[in-house]
Structure formats: C-alpha cells, structure tokens
Amino acid sequence: MTDLKTELGEAVAAAFAAEGVDAAVARVTTSDRPDLADFQSNGALAAAKALKANPRDLAGRVAERLSGDPRLTSVEVAGPGFINFKLADAALAKRAADVAADADHAGASLVAAPRKVVIDYAGPNVAKPMHVGHLRSSIIGESLKRLFRFRGDTVWGDAHFGDWGFQMGLLIVATGDEGRADAFLVEGDGPFPAESPVSLEDLERLYPLAAGRAKEDADYRDRARKATAELQAGRPGYRALWKHFVAVSRTALEREFSALSVTFDLWNGESDADPLMPEMIAHLEATGLLVEDGGARVVHVAGPGETRKKKLADGSVIEAPSPPPLLVISSEGSAMYGTTDLATILDRRKSIDPDLILYVVDERQAEHFEQVFRAARLAGYAGEGALEHLGFGTMNGTDGKPFKTRAGGVLKLHDLITQATDKARERLNEAHLGEDLSPEEFEATAHKVAIAALKFADLSNARTTSYVFDLDRFMSFEGKTGPYLLYQSVRIKSLLRKAADQGLTPGAIVIAEPAERDLALTLDAFDQAVSDAYDKRMPHLIAEHAYRLAQSFSKFYAACPVLIAPDEAIKASRLALSKAALDQLVIALNLLGIETPERM
C-alpha cells in the first residue's frame, strides 16, 4: 500500500524527467506552510542551476504537466521556483479508507525483501539485579524487534546473558569461602545437590563484595581467575554450581522483563557459544589470525599504521588510532568478553544464518563492538554490513549525570517500576480516572500507565541522545507523554462504544472539513514514519507520529462532532475516521511496546 506522498513523488519525478531533469532532484516533502499546501518540491532550484535555466520557468513547466492530475486540486509555483501541491479531498478520502481497511498495518507497507534478523538486547548479567542502566537497551531493543517484524522480517530477539565471564569465578570463590558450596568444590563428576545453595539475595550481596575484594587483593583475584578458567574448561562441580547461579538469576530477570512487556525468542547466554570455542580457536589459528601477545592470544583487527575518523562530542571529526587487538584468550587461559561475542556470531551463523545482527548496547561499548565486528569479518563469520552496533545515550538525573538514587546508588529496575506504578495510581486518582473500574482493573490500568510513561519518555528521544529522567513530567496526562496517548486511545474507544450503543457504524469516508483533511494527512504519514524508523533504527520516529496522530484526532474531535453530526452519512464517515485513528494509534503504540487499556 503506497502513501500519497510516495505516489505524488513518483508523479513529480516523471514530470521532471519529461523536462530532461534527473528525477533524483524531484524530492517531495511535507509542506512547511500547511496553510498554503500539503506538499512541496524544491527540485526546480537545484535542477535549474545544473541546466543553467530559470528555476521559476522550469517549475512552471513541471507544474503544467501535473495540473491535470486528479489527485491534486492545485499545483502552484511560489517564490523563486518552489512547487506547492494541494491534494484533492477525494484523494484523501480514498487514502483514509485504504488505511481504515488495512487492519494489520494501518497503511504501512512491508519491506520488498524480508530478511532474517537477530536483535541482541538487554544483556543482563547473572547474579546482578537489573537496574535503570538496563532500561534503555531492553525497551529500545523490544521496539526494534516489533518494528522489524511489523515490516515483514523474520526476527529473533536474544537476551544474551552475561553468564560466562570473570564474575562467575568471583561468585564460585565467594560462595566457597562462606562455606555455602562445599559439595560443589570437590573433585569428580558428582552427583551434586539439586537444590541451589544460594538465593538471589545471596548473589546480590556476594557479587559486589567479591568484586570489591578482587580489586584490592591480588591473591583473591588470582583465585577467581583460576576458578573462571576451570569453569570454562568444564570442571563438573563448578558447572553444577554455575547452573544454580543462572537459574536463580533468570527467575528474577523474567519478572522484570515481564513487567516491561519485553520478551525474547532466545534466552541464550555467553556460555551457549562455549561448545564452538575449540572450533573457532582452531580456525583462527589455521588462518593465522590468532597470535601470541605477552602471554595472551589476540587477533589484530587493524592494519599497520591504520587510522580512523572519530567524531567528538562537539561534532568535530579527528583522525584517531584504529582499535587495539581483540583479546581472545587471557594469559590465565580464560575466554574473554570479546571471545564469547565472536563465538556467538559464529553460533548464530550456524544456527540461524541471519542477514543482519543488531546489537542494542550502550554507546560506550562502541570500540568493543568495532573490534569484534572487524574480527568477525576477517574470520569470514559475517559479511560487510551484516553487523550493526546501535548505541544509545544515557538516562540522566536532573544534574545531567547518569541517573542515581537520592543516596547516590544505582536504582534497581524493580524499584523504578514500583515507583512509576505508585505515581500512576496517584495521577489516576487526581484526575478522577478509573473510578468505575474494579480494583483489579484499576491496578492493571495503573501498571499500563506506568510502563507507558517510562517507555514513551525514553522512546520519544532519538536513540543516540541522552535524556533527563523526570517521573512527575513523564506521568502527566497532558503534553507529549505516554499517559496522554493512552488517554486519547481510551477516549476514542469510549466514543466507538457509545456509537455502537446507538446502533451507529462506520461508513464511507468523506473529507470536507479542514480538521478532517489534517487527520487524513496524518494517517497517510504513518507509512513514512514506519519506513524511516526502520531504515534509521530510530523508534522515536514512531513515537513522534503517535503524538502527532493523537493531537490531530483531538483537533478533529473538537472541530467535527461525531455522534451529533448533521446527518447519518457524516456520522458514519467521522466514525470511520475515528476508528482508523484508533487502530493506527494502537498499532503505533504497540510498536513502542505500549499496551492500551480499554477504559480509564
């Protein structure tokens, strides 16, 4: 299904081509003066310069070619050569009807060539509680997963646990020193206890203690490194103890992800790539990529003297050294973070053979992923363009620094969701919303409002930027917020229920009023928003559209009475426009991972 902007762009390109102008310059954009036109093209200015012609004359000839197009009521030349287009009401009505009839995609088109895509996001660590630092990766990744599926790709979302590194050795030593794991520390094949010797609370307490001690105590650090190497080498007792760590952690992680409506197709961890490690190491050795370096083994990912362009925070670009070698095997014999990432790429190639793998990970990991991606390409595990790191900014406090609790600690994600839900209850009560709901329905609605507030606050910002966390502002039912969008969707649902109670049904769409035109144009713009968000990997473009749609409907609702319209045909038309707006808004919010309640 093609949107009107694209259709018009094709017609304008053909008109320019007929004048001997490269169609590439005939770009059509949304008018920056909606009071004068719906769309505009500035192509005549660029084309005339190349042709050494008068741009206004060229624009006039192009306009003349388009003057008979039935989709247009006017084609006018303005200024030095701008071409302004105003769409016919009938063309807008037809497009709105097409959007209304498209129950699954609300006017958005599918990709021409679907791909197999893996999206690696969240990246929680075993034994560490999820905190606000995990929020962005989780909800950006979830939104991208939904967006790519929506456009027709086959997508696997992978949580990619951190379950195989040095922290595992730290926990083995820490639990052993407390006498909690004696049965697992013995030599031999077991059997080992089926019951976990530690709870989640134990792990949350032990890990920071062990990590802190390792920084100060070299002997303790060496013991943890040795335990890590023995775990990875397959020592049975360590493996059995490690499985308990993973199981206990996963229970808590599933709770947090469920609260955020974040799901995964793969609950793989770094450890899942371990079986491929010998094969990968042998291949890197055979190809001469793996070399000794100070007792460790590395892959040099940059050529001699190679430099790269690096963009600084102020926007300037400098020449910087290329990334250092990728550390594959430490001097203690342990696989490293980059090793498991490289092996995971090989594993995914063998098990899924994806066309694209997206890594939704903090921008501060950019150099790590450049190392891993270069190594993967050198080894032949991935082609050019098959791996992308989608970095993101930080969620900051009002001081502009990464968000912390008032005491200066890292806020647990579970506590953040609880705070947001408490605030949602408060705001619902203040606004006298949800008073007719049962206690169970009210709680479910409060949770949806809380998650909408958190997600929209994040996803309404460009992925690459940081933003300030302000729960009071995010939870408002006015302005550019998740709760406002939920309120608008509930208001339309209420309208449609009242219409059904009166025996009214949606009918043929007719566009006559300015507010109807504006709503139809906004419905038409969804396809472009979805396409741009997909191509740029930027969910905020969907959030922007959802907000514009809600605003457009609000203006339409105020200017164009629905249930008390002057005749039945107009009632049916406006009901159809209302339902089309609701369906598109619900789909847009769903792409952001936001669920809409029925009542509020």
Pair of tokens at residue 424: 């949602």
Per residue in 568-577, pLDDT tens?
999 999 999 9
pLDDT of residue 312: 63
pTM for this model (two decimals): 0.92
Q: 145 and 119 in contact (C-beta within 8 Å)?
A: yes
Residue with tokens 């790709």: 153
Number of H helices, E strands in the chain: 21, 15
Q: In Å, how far are 147, 568, 580 from 505, measured between CA atoms?
A: 31, 10, 13
Half-sphere exposure of residue 230: CA atoms within 13 angstroms, side-chain side: 21
Pair of tokens at residue 251: 């229970």
Which amino acid does the sequence have at 33? R
Residue ranges and CATH numbers for the domains of the chain are 4-87 (3.30.1360.70), 166-259 (no CATH), 274-382 (3.40.50), 413-591 (1.10.730.10)
Residue with tokens 């159809």: 576
Q: 401 and 410 in contact (C-beta within 8 Å)?
A: no
Across-strand partners of 412? 131
E strand residue ranges, 317-407: 317-321, 326-329, 356-360, 387-389, 395-396
Q: What is the rounded CA–CA span in Å between residue 409 and residue 413?
A: 12
Cis bond before residue 191 (omega within 30° of 0):
yes
Which amino acid does the sequence have at 70? P
Per residue in 140-166, pLDDT tens?
999 999 999 999 999 999 999 888 888
Which amino acid does the sequence have at 38? D
* Contacts with 428 (C-beta within 8 Å, 6 or more apart), sequence order: 434, 442, 445, 446, 449, 600
Q: What is the rounded CA–CA span in Å between residue 509 and residue 569?
A: 9
DSSP 16-31: HHHTT--GGG--EEE-
pLDDT of residue 408: 65
pLDDT of residue 337: 82
DSSP 98-162: HHHH-TTTTTPPPPSS--EEEEEE---BTTS--BGGGHHHHHHHHHHHHHHHHTT-EEEEE--BB
* Contacts with 87 (C-beta within 8 Å, 6 or more apart), sequence order: 4, 8, 38, 39, 71, 72, 73, 521
Kindly give the parts of the chain with pLDDT less than 70.
1, 311-315, 405-408
* Contacts with 78 (C-beta within 8 Å, 6 or more apart), sequence order: 36, 84
